[in-house]
Structure 1
Amino acid sequence: MELDETDRALLRALSQNAAQTASQLGRAVGLSQPAAWRRVQRLWASGALAGRRLDLDPEKLGFGVTVFLGVKLAARGRVSLEDFERIVGAIPEVQRVEHVLGLYDYRLRVVARDLADFERVLRRRIMALPGVGSVEANVMLSEERLPGPL
């Protein structure tokens, strides 16, 4: 699907506030309500829009620590990548699983209530997984840039 400037403007407007009505979107990009609605429906149908997301504040929900883990899978007794992804993805504290190229095989985003809680998750859940070789942890100090439009 080819995106024109109006499509891009709609995507920018939706990325700022996905709860806008077709009427509000139309006013923002210079379209009528029906034309804006049709374009948004076309963006959904094409896959350019996929899913709706609610951003929660982990700290306000009691999760004060975010840690990025680099995980290198062990060479011996190698577990399949699909099995590792399925198992690690079932751990509630693991917010994101990214298969990466480089020093580590995976990058995980893990949230915990505090450092003691993170240590428990690391020792009892992540290090105990089959196939885990080495792990490097980086504690997030602050997050300056939040995800935005492409």
Structure 2
Amino acid sequence: MIDLDATDRALLRALAVDASQSASALGRRLGLSQPATWRRIRRLEEAGAIKGRRLRLNAEALGFGVTVFLGVKLATKGRVSLEDFERAVSAIPEVQRVEHILGLYDYRLRVVARDIPDFERVLRRRIMTLPGAGEVEANVVLSEERRPGPL
């Protein structure tokens, strides 16, 4: 774990809101020079506090109007390795997130599709044919009120 001071925390909050801000703009906001801000960002990246910067796309504007969370229970835990399942499911472009979880299901998947018939196609032809795929529970997202934010 890295020791963070108040400036580091303010810097992380600012980057979590908009990671495209320049070091000079961040520095002005935080009362730091551009080089000092850049050194802090690099230190936070090297320490692993910043894992990367991502572009958030609007899935609906790009034609993906349906988001579904799937709970997947593996049918043959002993015969199919978790790595085989993870590798295969990660190759499906509609699967946006793969989480190995503890509970009723072994995995939770976030899947995007153009519409319900498109989701059914992805489910039947891609997900249900994965090595070891067993029981599946689908939860369609009706609305998303909170976006991921800072820790």
Bin the TM-score by the shorter chain.
over 0.9
8 Å Cα contact 2:68-2:112 kept in structure 1: yes
Which residue does the alignment assign to 2:110? 109
Deviations 1:81-124 (A, max 9, x none): 01100001101110100000000000000000100000011011
Letter in 2 for 1:101: L
Structure 2 contact 88–131 (Cα < 8 Å) conserved? no
TM-score by length of 1: 0.96
Counterpart of 2:91, as a letter, is A
Q: How many correspondences in the alignment? A: 150
1:72 matched to which residue of 2? 73
State the SS of the aligned residue for 1:27.
Answer: helix
Q: Where does structure 1 lack aligned partners over 5 or more consecutive residues?
A: none
Moved more, 11-20 or 94-103: 11-20
Query: Structure 2: any 5+ residue segments left out of the alignment?
Result: none
CA distance in 1, matches of 2:132, 2:50: 36
Check conservation: 1:95, 1:111, Cα contact below 8 A: yes
| Equivalent residue, structure 1, for 2:18 | 17
Amino acid at match of 1:55: R
Shift of 1:77: 6.1
- The equivalent residue for 1:137 is 138
Q: C-alpha root-mean-square deviation of aligned residues, in Å?
A: 1.2
* Cα separation, 1, equivalents of 2:48 and 2:7: 17
Identical aligned pairs, as a percentage? 77
Q: Distance in 2 between matches of 1:56 and 1:100?
A: 26
TM-score, structure 2 normalization: 0.95
SS in 2 for 1:98: strand
Partners of 1:16 and 1:29 in 2: how far apart? 14
- Name the CA distance, whole Å, in 2 between partners of 1:10 and 1:20: 11
- Go from structure 1 to structure 2 and tell me whether the alpha carbon gap of 1:91 and 1:38 turns closer, same or farther (over 3 Å shift): same
Query: 1:37 & 1:75 partners in 2: Cα distance?
Result: 49
- Matching residue of 2:85: 84
